Amino acid sequence: MKKVLALLLGLLLFLGSPLHVPGEENQFEDELYAASACLLDADSGRVLYGKAEEEALAMASTTKIMTCILALENTADPAGTVLTASREAASQPEVRLGVHAGQQFSMQDLLYALMLESYNDTAVMIAEGTAGSVEAFAELMNRKAEEIGCRDTHFVTPNGLDGSDAGGEHHTTAADLALMLRYCIRQSPKAEQFLEITGTSSYSFWDRELKNVYDCVNHNALLSMMEGTLSGKTGFTSKAGYCYVGAVQQGDRCLIVSLLACGWPDHRDYKWSDARKLLEYGFENYEYRDVFDRNFRGREIPVADGRYGDFPGEGSAFTTAEFGIPEEERSLRLLLRADEQVEIRYDLPETLEAPVSAGEEIGNVRYSLKGEELAVYPLYASSGVEKKDYFWCLRQLWKWYCGRQ
């Protein structure tokens, strides 16, 4: 009966009122339960909405998306890799698979247990099997976070249990957490395997001795609540509260939502309400537009001391700034709200100094939105211009003189 009531409460929250967005700036912080939230465009990595998205907070088991992707990237054959439970792994607190020291499992099976049931002991087994120790694996996690552009994230544990070391407390931000999932589903060479694991609704496996069978059920309720859900991970500790990160694909748009400190017991379903509000807002208000400036046909730029013609003082030298992209390939599709206007700025010099080589980069065009640079395209000289120096003038005068004789 308790499970039925909890499910009904979750559905009521999920089917609650749509997100109210006053004005153009979407200031609806008071309508979200989460202390920190981020809505990210999975393709460009642009933050579409944020609420305290740069605030450092505990992240609980959402940590495990990084554990999973690093294990996949550093294991050539997860199905054929056997991991043995250490005493440290066996001593991990709930939620746990219940391994005992010396027990063996396939790495692939443990990855499903990690992402579907969020078992803490499997996270330690995976970390030790990948890097040799939890500490060495945490170094891999922090290195990867820096590589993908996380700005305020520090990993101490592979399972998200609260901890600290010389580098600080285990934490991230909503913006960084969304970036991590973007890497997992879009940029990692193991993205396909990650999506296969995290999109699975249930999974069963045996230990290597074939003595025990284990059944796992995916706790990402968004898989059944929202069309197009690709992946996601829940989390909870008494410090972090309820957390969530998930990705949804609808048509040509893929959005990622991340939530930190989204309620404490007995409010475990707040995260589904917040996720729905943010994702529905994104899909209802953002569409792709091609903002590439096709009206630009090149710009002539004078070249000082440039050679023009065959006689000193004859005409003015110039070249033309143009794109190095074929016209049929010129496109810049961005996910934008109807009221958002992209600024286009051409950075080109008034004049150039000879010599100028054909194909030389002489400027660029910058696309930005509200001060945030979105794309930069170089512009190149269409033709070369030689320098009209003293010796060239003498040679031309001599040719002229000889031609008169």
Closest CA to 288 of 341, 334, 331: 334
Both structure tokens of 270: 């707040």
How many alpha carbons lie under 13 Å from residue 220 in its C-beta half-sphere? 30
Asked if 89 contacts 99 with a C-beta cutoff of 8 angstroms, the reply is: yes
Tell me whether residue 2 is annotated as binding: no
Asked if 66 contacts 53 with a C-beta cutoff of 8 angstroms, the reply is: no
Q: Residues with Cβ < 8 Å from 369, sequence gap 6 or more?
A: 334, 336, 340, 341, 342, 343
* DSSP track, 25-43: TT--GGG---SEEEEEETT
Helix (H) or strand (E) holding 139: helix 134-147
Question: pLDDT of 253-301, one tens digit each?
Answer: 999 999 999 999 989 999 999 999 999 999 999 999 999 999 998 899 9
Mind telling me the catalytic residues?
61, 64, 118
Both structure tokens of 178: 């969304």
Q: What is the dihedral of CA 267, 272, 273, 275, to 10 degrees?
A: 130
Question: pLDDT of 321-369, one tens digit each?
Answer: 999 899 899 999 999 999 999 999 999 999 999 899 999 999 999 999 9
DSSP three-state, residue 75: coil
DSSP three-state, residue 134: helix
C-beta neighbour count of 8 within 10 angstroms = 11
* CA 318 – CA 321 distance, rounded (Å): 10
pLDDT of residue 53 exceeding 80: yes
Helix (H) or strand (E) holding 368: strand 361-369
Question: pLDDT of 360-396, one tens digit each?
Answer: 999 999 999 989 999 999 999 999 888 876 666 677 6
Helix (H) or strand (E) holding 299: strand 299-304
C-beta neighbour count of 177 within 10 angstroms = 32
Q: What is the pTM of this model?
A: 0.85
